[in-house]
Amino acid sequence: MLKGDTRLRNINHITYNVKNKDKALKWYTEVLGLKQIPKKVESDRLYWLQLPSGAMVHIIENPEAPSAPSHHTAFEVDDLDAAHKQLQGMKVECTPIQTRQDGQRAFYLNDPDGNRIELCTHSGFGVLV
């Protein structure tokens, strides 16, 4: 088990496979509001995007897209009801908002390639490890 200075601390980036990187870039920036940043690898098949927290999303053009349906990323938002309403107003299909036993609320949507994305409230867990 990694401990001390080698312990895992944070999410650095998430990668999604997409069929058309330009179409995906437009969706991730216009619908989810991520910002494009310079990529630090030599490849014409991908874009790097970033959240205000510094966590990154890498979208990679791959004819085998989407990523496996069970894979998803959960992004926290401050006002889940407003996010749900805004996305529905943009004609983005979303699941109903669900509430877990601990009170955390969430809903799901798919990017244009079918990659599943969760938007949720802050977890009530705090740091447990």
pLDDT, tens digit, 9 for 90 and up, residues 84-108: 999 999 999 999 999 987 788 999 9
> How far is it between the farthest Cα atoms of the chain?
46
| Tens-digit pLDDT profile for residues 107-122 | 999 999 999 899 988 8
Domains along the chain with CATH numbers: 8-120 (3.10.180.10)
- Predicted TM-score (pTM) of the model is 0.81
Q: Which residue has the higher pLDDT, 40 or 30?
A: 30
Instruction: Tally the C-alpha atoms within 13 A of residue 96's C-alpha that lie toward its C-beta.
Output: 3
